[in-house]
Structure 1
Amino acid sequence: MRLPDSGTDQPSEAELTAKLDPDLLPKHVAIIMDGNGRWAEARSLPRIAGHREGIKSVREAITICLELGIPALTIYAFSQENWNRPAPEINSLMGLLEHYLSTERNKLIEQGVRFRTIGRTESLPTSALQWVRAAEHETAHLDKLHLTVALSYGGRAEIVDAIRGIVREAYDRKMQADDIDESLVHQFLYTHDLPDPDLLIRTSGETRISNFLLWQLAYTELYFTPTLWPDFRRREMLLALIEFQGRERRFGRVFTSLSS
């Protein structure tokens, strides 16, 4: 976990970028974008103002991934639990989603970004769902960056949906119980055609994964920062990537030195 910066002698963004090893960059970064409401409340603004400001951080994350050649970015935008928020806030968030897709879609296409969603998106309002499906269709052929947005998403719900898919497949193919393994389960996840995240970033100081990508995060490196999402810009992303590169990823193995 990164603590707040202290002192005034901080490396510049150029110096931070120079510290990155292109061969050690993550292939897939996942982000829990937390703290929009607190950012707004601290400024005596309505909560939706924090969500609007947070879109700038989304743009920054996309830009950095494109610049560094990170091929996959998954962001947690709206959970199933978020449907329990007050109706005016939900309506504002859905309107903001439509506004983002209407204003950013052409730029995503120019940048070569494939946009898609995961989750039980059929729960979205009709208008928002139409914008989502249009963006998915128009960017389906692009592959410079796979931008996956979790909407009406829950990790447990994803696993339940995967099990349902496997059961249907089992009836059709007369599968046996022993035919079900981790590889088969992976094929029925929403993210079946993406590698598991190498790095998960959560902003705002919370240190939990909040029902996000429960299966996929098994060996993901976790990075927690007190920075609120609207303030999470290029410098913060670089710091997260640098810390990631300093981690030793063993995937359950034990590495021993030659001299031991």
Structure 2
Amino acid sequence: MREWLRRQFNGAYERMLRRELGSSPEHVAIIQDGNRRYARSHGDDAPDGHKKGAKTSERVLDWCDESGVEELTLYAFSTENFDRPQEELDPLFDLMEDKLYEFADADRVHESGVRICAIGETERLPPRLRDAVDYAEDRTSDYDNFRLNIALAYGGRAELLGAVRDVARDVESGALSPDDVTVDEVDERLCRQPARDVDLIIRTGGDERTSNFLPWHANGNEAAVYFCAPYWPEFSKVDFLRGLRTYESREKSWQRTRTERAVALVRSAAETELAEAKTVASRLREKLPSAGAEEVVAELERQGDAEAAD
């Protein structure tokens, strides 16, 4: 009975969230945290948590499709993760290898036109996993309906450092002028970058930090961030919709702020013009002959007062 009530409540809440949502973000990036803690809390080993988390990743693809999201980036493996014990890394690499082949051959991926891309220092991955990456990218390279980025051996600082060093080498060699160092020049040197800037970052597992994840594409775009408590295997559709709501609330707040700034700017300009008009009127009163001067001055002042009233 309790489980039935929970499902009914979640279903009703999900419908309410959907009614509240308007436009969706184009690019959602997710830090899939909590697989190991989930496994420990259920008396399992880390690989079991990663397997459960992989199921959640598959469901999120469906939720993105339903919500109109056009690009999804999943933080699957960071450069710091290489420090984990080898007995944990090998099963994790096996799982990612299997899932890449599975995704690349899945009918729904081809029917939906999903393009799979890996971002990060993929050359550091085991050869068998690099082969799986190449296979998935080659099989889906012609699609552009939806883009799925898998962040593998990824670290945001390392990515930015590599781009900066590349720019510095080109400037030193004379291939690039310092005056030509632009956002686009840096962007082109990022390793296998996403197609779009990030609109929303979601992090599961309770930690409130973005962990060196896509600093150029997220922080530069001032992406909305949604932190939630559930471990990644427990992440639900309701949690996902809450994340979308966070993005939309941020966008509405931005729109209000931009509107308020625009109004303030117009008012400031109007006040300046009014002050200038009155200054001109005062000078005319002093310079013009008495005949007709008062009429001209009165008209200038009238126009200034009318602009201020608007």
* Fold conserved between structures, TM > 0.5: yes
Give 1:73's aligned residue.
72
Give 1:188's aligned residue.
189
Name the SS of the counterpart of 2:72 in structure 1: strand
1:250 deviates by: 3.6
Deviates most, 31-40 or 155-164: 155-164
TM-score (norm 1): 0.88
1:193 deviates by: 5.5
Greater than 4 Å deviation, 4+ residue runs: 257-260
Give 2:43's aligned residue.
44
Residue 145 of structure 2 is aligned to residue 141 of structure 1? no
CA distance in 2: counterparts of 1:110 and 1:239, whole angstroms: 28
Select the residue among 225, 229, 232 that pairs with 2:232: 229
Structure 2: tracts of 5 or more residues without a match? 1-7, 268-310
- Conservation of the 8 A alpha-carbon contact between 1:155 and 1:211: yes
Give 2:287's aligned residue.
none
Identity of aligned residues (%): 35
Select the residue among 244, 249, 255 that pairs with 1:246: 249
Give 2:308's aligned residue.
none
Deviations 1:207-240 (A, max 9, x none): 1111111122221111100111101122211111
Letter in 1 for 2:133: V
1:140 deviates by: 0.6
Across the aligned residues of Structure 1 and Structure 2, the Cα RMSD in angstroms comes to: 2.3
TM-score (norm 2): 0.75
Give 2:223's aligned residue.
220
Structure number having the greater helix percentage: 2
* Count of aligned pairs between the two proteins: 251
Letter in 1 for 2:242: L
- Conservation of the 8 A alpha-carbon contact between 1:65 and 1:145: no
1:171 deviates by: 5.7
Q: Which has the higher contact order (CA 8 A, sep 6+)?
A: 1
Structure index of larger Rg = 2
Name the SS of the counterpart of 1:215 in structure 2: helix
Deviations 1:175-219 (A, max 9, x none): 222211223212222354622100000001101111111122221
Deviates most, 50-59 or 233-242: 233-242
Summarize the alignment of residues 112-151 of structure 1 with structure 2, pairs less than 5 Å apart.
112-151=113-152
